[in-house]
Structure 1
Amino acid sequence: MTVDYQQLNGIALAYLGDAVYEPFIRQHMIELGYTKPTKLHHHATHYVSAKAQAALIARMQDTDILTPTEVDVFKHGRNAKSHTSAKHTDVVTYRISTGFEAVFGYLQLTKQTARIAELAKWCMTEVDEGRVSSVK
């Protein structure tokens, strides 16, 4: 069964996208040598927090790394009405990060695994090389 991503709301795409993006970050933390749970969690937030994801999507837009369809999916996710509230950030940042996650959900549903890996690697490099900060 094929799911039409265009028929899904942005929150559903983000739900899937969060699960798609996070394993890349978890593996990256292990590869960097972090093994203690508190260190793993602390360092992972530099990649997966709402602030980090909002900064990453801004950088993606600045560097034109996203395809036009990915930009549309981001906007669809960003503009989705959520009935939950952000825990550690403002509403705007939370919505932007929802759009970021929606892109990964869309890529998963459209079976673009190479593109997922490419974008995840790009995100990790941007954070690792200090071009993106999770602190605004």
Structure 2
Amino acid sequence: MEDNLFDVKWDSSSVKQISPLTLAFVGDAVYETFVRIYLVYKYRDMQVHNLHVKAVKFVKAHSQSEIIKKLETQLSEEEMYFFKRGRNAKSGTVPKNADVQEYRFATGFETLVGFLYLTGRLGRLNFLFRSIIMLESEGKF
């Protein structure tokens, strides 16, 4: 085990050994953390409940599905591979507020985020997160 788990970087072939739902598990946490940090940065004095309401807009399956549909033309072949692995994974559950297709696209999005994070592609993550902020500011999800 490494001394600093934040410094652990995986190569693509190692990440391919991880199930897409496990990558989505990581990606969900990374994306939620990004959203929370962004909202606190933008709305420093907002009450926590209101921050939570704004965060839900970003992280719900419908929004993630819309986001990835708008960003998929900007994905590399390797990024599309991981998105599709997550989208096609059978999770066995669907949240009550999302349909199956939205949930699968959201899972693909989270899988992609998990892949980028674990492989240390933080510049690419930053690019995607900035694109998401622009989409949100334009009311596109």
Question: Shared fold (TM-score greater than 0.5)?
Answer: yes
CA–CA distance in 2 between the matches of 1:104 and 1:56?
12
Deviations 1:6-46 (A, max 9, x none): 11221111000011111221111112216212211111122
Which TM-score applies when normalising by structure 2?
Answer: 0.85
Deviations 1:27-77 (A, max 9, x none): 11112216212211111122111000000000012xx21111111110000
Aligned structure 1 segments of 4 or more residues deviating by more than 3 angstroms: none
Match 2:91 to one of 82, 102, 108: 82
Highest CA radius of gyration, 1 or 2? 2
CA–CA distance in 2 between the matches of 1:51 and 1:71?
19
Match 1:20 to one of 8, 12, 30: 30
Which TM-score applies when normalising by structure 1?
Answer: 0.88
Q: Is the 8 A contact 1:47 1:124 kept in 2?
A: no
Q: Which has the higher contact order (CA 8 A, sep 6+)?
A: 1
Does 2:111 align with 1:119? no
CA–CA distance in 1 between the matches of 2:97 and 2:47?
23
Percent of aligned positions that are identical: 35
| DSSP-derived class of the 1:114 partner | helix
Name stretches of at least 5 consecutive residues in structure 2 with no aligned partner: 1-7
Name stretches of at least 5 consecutive residues in structure 1 with no aligned partner: none
| Count of residue pairs brought into register by the alignment | 130
CA RMSD of aligned residues (A): 1.6
Q: Which residue does 1:7 correspond to in 2?
A: 17
